[in-house]
Amino acid sequence: MRVAFVGKGGSGKTTLSALFARQLARSGAPVLAVDGDINQHLSEALDPTAGTTPFTAPPLAARLGDIKDLLRGTNARITSREAMVKTTPPGRGSRLLRLLGDDELHTRHVQRVGGVPLMVTGEFDESDLGVACYHSKLGAVELYLSHLVDGPGEYLVMDMTAGADAFASGLFTRFDMTFLVAEPTRKGVSVYRQYRDHAREFGIPLAVVGNKVTGEDDLLFLKEEVGDDLLTHLGLSPWVRSAERGNPQGELEEANRHALNLLRETVDAREKNWPALHRHAVEFHLRNAGAWADAATGQDLAAQVDPEFVPGPVSLT
C-alpha cells in the first residue's frame, strides 16, 4: 500500500513519515521510504545519528532519462524518452516494477538508512531558479508510482512537499491512503481544508493525524476543526526531541507507538483499487497533454493511453 504524509511546513510530517516507516521496518514488513519534500530531511529523521554515513544514492531526478527508458520498455505508444512526460501512464510493453525489486532503478537509487530502504527525489537548489519548477523534480517518482505494482503487506511511505503544493500535480492521487499531519493551531489545520476539498473531488482517502498535542484543550480544538477526519494524535515527544538533537534517549512513548499502530491498521483496512489509481493517472495525463505536453513534445500524447490496460498483479504475469 502507498501512504503519503502531507501537512504544513513544521507540522512534523517528516518526523511522522520516519516514525511510521521505522515502525513498519522493525516489524519485518517490506517498506520503502521516499523523500518527496522540497527540503530533503527524511534521511536525517530516519537516523538522526547517521552524520558519519551520508546518503549517497543518486536522486531520482538526476537519472530521469534513464528511468524513462527503463519504464517505457517496449511500449509502442511511447516513441522516445523525450515523448514520455511525468504523467505518461503504463501500457502493454511498459516495464512494471515490484517494490524493492531486483531491477536497475531500485539497485541504483535505494539506500538503507536507520534500517529503512530510502529513495529521494532530489533537492530544489539555486541552479533551478528561473529554469525549473520543483514539481518537475517529482516527475521521476510520479512515473515510478504509475509503474509500481506493490503487493499485499508491502508499504511505500512518502514524505510529500509541504502545504498546498502537495496537490499542485496529479501525484497526490497515486496513494492508497493520505495522512495529513496537523498541529493544534489555526495555521496547523489551514492546509486540511484545502486538501480535504481536493481529496473529496478525486475520492482520495484522507485522515488527519494531530501532532504535538499537549492536552485535552489541544485535542478538543482539533476535533472541532476537522471533525470525524481526525483519526488519532501524537503528543509532544521527549524521545523525538532527543532524537532531533542527535542523541535519542530510550524508546518512543507508548501512547505515540499506539498512534502509529492505528495508522497501520487504517492502511491495512484499505483495499487496493487498481482501476481507480490508473483512472486518475490517465485523467491527469490527458489534462497535462492538453495544457502543455502536446505543445512541448510536438505529439498528441493522448495516444499514449492504452485503453485495454490496467496495471496490477495480473499485468505482471
Q: For 235-255, what is each residue's pLDDT tens digit?
A: 999 999 888 888 888 889 999
Cα(294)–Cα(316) distance, integer angstroms: 30
Full domain range(s) for residue 209: 2-48+57-294
- 155 occurs within a structural domain: yes
Q: Which three cell numbers stand for residue 6?
A: 502531507
Q: How far is CA 152 from the centre of its chain?
A: 18
The reported pLDDT for the residue numbered 156 is 98
Confidence of residue 262 (pLDDT cuts 50, 70, 90): very high
**Residue 300 within any structural domain of the chain:** no
Enter the DSSP assignment of 137.
H
Model pLDDT for residues 22-35, shown as the tens digit of each residue: 999 999 999 999 99
Which H/E stretch holds residue 220?
A: helix 216-226
Helix (H, G, I), strand (E, B) or coil at 5: strand
Q: What is the pLDDT of residue 148?
A: 97
Residue 153 located in a structural domain = yes
- Confirm whether 39 is domain-assigned: yes
CB 183 within 8 A of CB 8: yes
Contact (CB, 8 A) for 137 and 110: no
161/163 Cα distance (integer angstroms): 7
Per-residue CA distances from 182 to 83, 156, 254, 310 (Å): 39, 21, 20, 35
Q: Is the pLDDT of residue 131 over 60?
A: no
* Mean pLDDT on 186-212: 88
Mean pLDDT, the chain, integer: 90
Identity at 267, one-letter amino acid code: V
CATH of the domain at 37: 3.40.50.300
Q: φ and ψ at 209, to 5 degrees?
A: -115, 110
Q: CA 245, 53, 181 angle in degrees (round to 5)?
A: 50
DSSP E strands: which ranges in 216-281? 230-235
> Rounded CA gap, 218 and 30, in Å?
35
Please state the rounded mean pLDDT for residues 88-108. Answer: 97
Give residue 168's pLDDT band: very low, low, confident or very high (50, 70, 90): low
Q: Return the residue matching grid coordinates 510530517.
A: 13
Residue 272 in grid coordinates: 487496493
What pLDDT does residue 193 have? 84
> Percent of the chain at pLDDT above 70?
92
Look at residue 312 and tell me if it is in a domain: no
Angle (nearest 5°) at CA 245 between 243 and 246: 65
Task: Give how many domains the chain has, as a whole number.
Answer: 1
Label residue 214 exposed, middle or buried (CB < 10 Å: 0-12, 13-18, 19+).
exposed
Band the pLDDT of 123: cuts 50, 70, 90.
confident
Residue range 215-230: average pLDDT? 95
Q: If you average pLDDT over residues 136-154, what whole number do you get?
A: 91
Residue 8 resides in a domain:
yes
User: What is the rounded distance in angstroms from the CA atom of residue 303 to the CA atom of residue 165?
Assistant: 29
Q: Which residues pair with 178 in a beta bridge?
A: 4, 206
By CB atoms closer than 10 A (0-12, 13-18, 19+), residue 79 is middle
Whether the predicted pLDDT of 125 surpasses 50: yes
Measure the CA–CA gap between 191 and 194, rounded to whole angstroms.
Answer: 5
Q: Is 117 part of a structural domain of the chain?
A: yes
313 inside domain: no
Residue 133, pLDDT score: 44
